[in-house]
Structure 1
Amino acid sequence: MKLATYRNHTRDGQLMVVSRDLSQALAVPHIATSLQAALDDWSRCEPALQEVYAALNQGTVNAAVSFDQSACHSPLPRAYQWADGSAYLNHVELVRKARGAEVPASFYQDPLMYQGGSDTFLPPHADIPLADVSWGLDFEGEVAVITDDVPLGSQAGDCATHIRLLMLVNDVTLRNLIPAELAKGFGFFQSKPATAFSPVAVTPDELGQAWQDSKVHLPLRVEYNGKLYGQPQCGVEMQFNFAQLVAHVAKTRALAAGSIVGSGTISNHDRATGSCCLAEQRMIEIIEQGAPVTPFMQPGDQVRIEMLDAAGHSIFGRIDQKVIAHD
């Protein structure tokens, strides 16, 4: 099943059921007005939403409208929780190697994770405002899951059953603000502005065989300024799967329905697959050339993030964002 949220001048938007081919959509206020409302009552709403989804795919819904990705907000315009991991340790290894540091052994057994701002997200086709180019604006292509209620202390095996939906992510980052923030010992804050998610969230079964072991086994495609920048495989080098990441969050707290947990930047050891962020390419340049060459984003730059199925069809729709100067 595929779900989206249209902007409608309310904080949580209007829930839309979207056809598999992303051509048709239907509002379902008789089932749930928003995605959060559906997640709050998933056992009741999910079967009804599936019925609408089946009818959309069969072309038997007369009230359906053409699906407009530009009308979408992120599937959850705001969320109770946004916790982002760093499950692809090749990314961490490159960053550490560039500054001559080893990766601590604990990183391979215990996930890295930070708590992002979740009170407001960017729509997937919204501009990214940048007040100061010296802050080092970067995109980060990721995958994320949305959970239902996860009890405190849930183990990874149980957490897999609490994953309800998947989305793509642009985890917008201000790289040059990170060092000073981390030096304070309290982690990211100003360096992590509003995040954007894909137009569509999908249930895991939509991925078929590409969803195994709580991982997505497909490449994530990132285009930067009209050119392919990277398409690393999401499943091959994910140190911690999504069930393990959710369990990491649940170790000391319960998760409310509508909590979002991210994978961190998709990254492969095979450099031929490219990168999902500018920082990774800059780290490679430091390692190989002694200094970075690739600049961070400037007003006018554009990033597109998308995932295609084996037949070349878009699964989640496309994140498509430009940078604008913000006073």
Structure 2
Amino acid sequence: MQLVSYLRDSHDQLSLLINGHLYNMDELHPDLPGSMGMFLNYWEDAFPLAKRAEEGVKAGRFLQNRGIPYDAVTLLSPVPFPTSYRDAYAFRQHVAAVGRRHNTPWLPEFDQYPVFYFGNHHSIQGPGEIPCMPDHLENLDFELEVAIVICKHGRNIPAALADEYIGGLMIMNDISARRLQSEEMLLNLGPVKGKDFATALGPVLITQDELESFEIPAKANHTGKCWNLVMKCRVNGVQVSEGNLGDMDWTFAELIERASYGANLYPGDIIGSGTVGTGCFLELNGTAALNNPGYTEQWLQPGDAVQLEVDRLGMLNNLIVKDEENWSILKQKKI
């Protein structure tokens, strides 16, 4: 299924995307919830019921004339109010490239266990504008990722069973203020302030049944599903990055195992893959500078249109803008 959350009467509305039209979940069947949060909490009952409703719409048995055009609504994050947000470090290529940029040795711990940090789940948003304060615009970066959402409660979940806890996949842009990030990490903490202001998800949550034809084996000595999905980033229409979700070294199943060790995972928890190889300017600038010492670094600027595209998961569009209202307040305080 393709699940979309959009703004309806000042609240989030969960819908099914079918042939370019949205069908409100709670109108498809009285027992289906109207929000993603409720849908995830009642996943084992709601998912099969929603599948039958989807089949009914596709077969033309009901609601075929009740669809809302997809491009006529204000899209939210598919999971508008996540219960928590973790972001991992699952791609070896990205980790190695960033290490070369900083002239640091390879850390063998990468192959011992997957790592992640906790982000600000209140800063999750969907497509649209990314409002930035002045410090955010000093070396502002995109990060091309895919995220999953947990669909049932678990604790100490083994990787062999962890794929059952994945509600679906969606595109993720882990917006990063690199100057702030580099400063705080000098003290061996973070990233925090460099990433807590905006993380974009969407536009659609794709459930695993839609991705079966893209499944590929995990890498040697790893457990869990992988998907052969090409990932791209364009800035102002110019492609700057390309990778593949299938290049993940640690699988989402292994990330779930690690995250749930001695801890509870809940429906609505989000886990990001980490940046795909070549999937950010930090990495791209570093590689280019190694080959050309005179290279001029590229970072995101106000007015830049950032477009992340992943096979089958759609296209996430965001626009970098100044947070004009709060910039004015900041200037007044300094006067």
TM-score w.r.t. the length of structure 2 is: 0.87
Q: Distance in 2 between matches of 1:14 and 1:178?
A: 35
Distance verdict in 2 for CA 1:177–1:69, change over 3 Å: farther
- Encode CA deviations 1:268-309: one digit per residue, 9 max, x unaligned: xxxxxxx3211111110232223652321111111101123x
Residues 15 and 23, structure 2, Cα contact 8 Å, conserved in 1: yes
How far did 1:59 drift?
4.1
Q: Distance in 1 between matches of 2:21 and 2:56?
A: 11
2:166 to 163, 180, 190: 163
2:198 aligned with 1:199, yes or no?
Answer: no
Q: Which has the higher strand share?
A: 2
Q: How many pairs were matched up? A: 309
Secondary structure of 2:249's aligned partner: coil
Residues 43 and 152, structure 2, Cα contact 8 Å, conserved in 1: no
- Encode CA deviations 1:221-251: one digit per residue, 9 max, x unaligned: 211111122221210x311011001111111
2:240 aligned with 1:229, yes or no?
Answer: yes
Distance verdict in 2 for CA 1:65–1:8, change over 3 Å: closer
2:98 aligned with 1:111, yes or no?
Answer: no
Amino acid at match of 2:239: L
How do 1:1-327 residues align onto structure 2 when only pairs under 5 Å count?
1-8=1-8, 10=10, 13-19=12-18, 21=19, 23-29=20-26, 30=30, 31-60=32-61, 61-68=64-71, 71-124=74-127, 126-132=128-134, 134-192=137-195, 193-212=197-216, 213-235=224-246, 237-267=247-277, 275-290=278-293, 293-308=296-311, 315-326=312-323, 327=327
Amino acid at match of 2:17: V
Q: Distance in 1 between matches of 2:47 and 2:111?
A: 36
Q: Distance in 2 between matches of 1:161 and 1:260?
A: 15
How far did 1:88 drift?
0.6
Amino acid at match of 1:7: L
How far did 1:134 drift?
4.8
Q: Distance in 2 between matches of 1:215 and 1:231?
A: 17
Secondary structure of 1:201's aligned partner: strand
Residues 169 and 205, structure 2, Cα contact 8 Å, conserved in 1: yes
Residues 121 and 195, structure 1, Cα contact 8 Å, conserved in 2: yes
Amino acid at match of 2:131: P
Distance verdict in 2 for CA 1:194–1:178, change over 3 Å: same
Q: Distance in 2 between matches of 1:255 and 1:319?
A: 26
Q: Distance in 2 between matches of 1:251 and 1:101?
A: 29
Distance verdict in 2 for CA 1:291–1:53, change over 3 Å: farther
Q: Distance in 1 between matches of 2:94 and 2:225?
A: 20
How far did 1:69 drift?
7.2
Q: Distance in 2 between matches of 1:258 and 1:319?
A: 20
Amino acid at match of 1:24: H
Q: Distance in 2 between matches of 1:182 and 1:57?
A: 51
Q: Distance in 2 between matches of 1:68 and 1:5?
A: 13
Q: Distance in 2 between matches of 1:291 and 1:89?
A: 27
Structure having the higher Rg: 2
How far did 1:39 drift?
0.6
Which 4+ stretches in 1 moved above 6 angstroms? none
Residues 130 and 137, structure 1, Cα contact 8 Å, conserved in 2: no
Q: Percent identity?
A: 26
Secondary structure of 1:199's aligned partner: strand
How far did 1:252 drift?
2.5
| Unmatched segments (≥5 aa) in structure 2 | 217-223, 328-335
Distance verdict in 2 for CA 1:69–1:77, change over 3 Å: farther
TM-score w.r.t. the length of structure 1 is: 0.89
Residues 101 and 283, structure 2, Cα contact 8 Å, conserved in 1: no
How far did 1:89 drift?
1.4
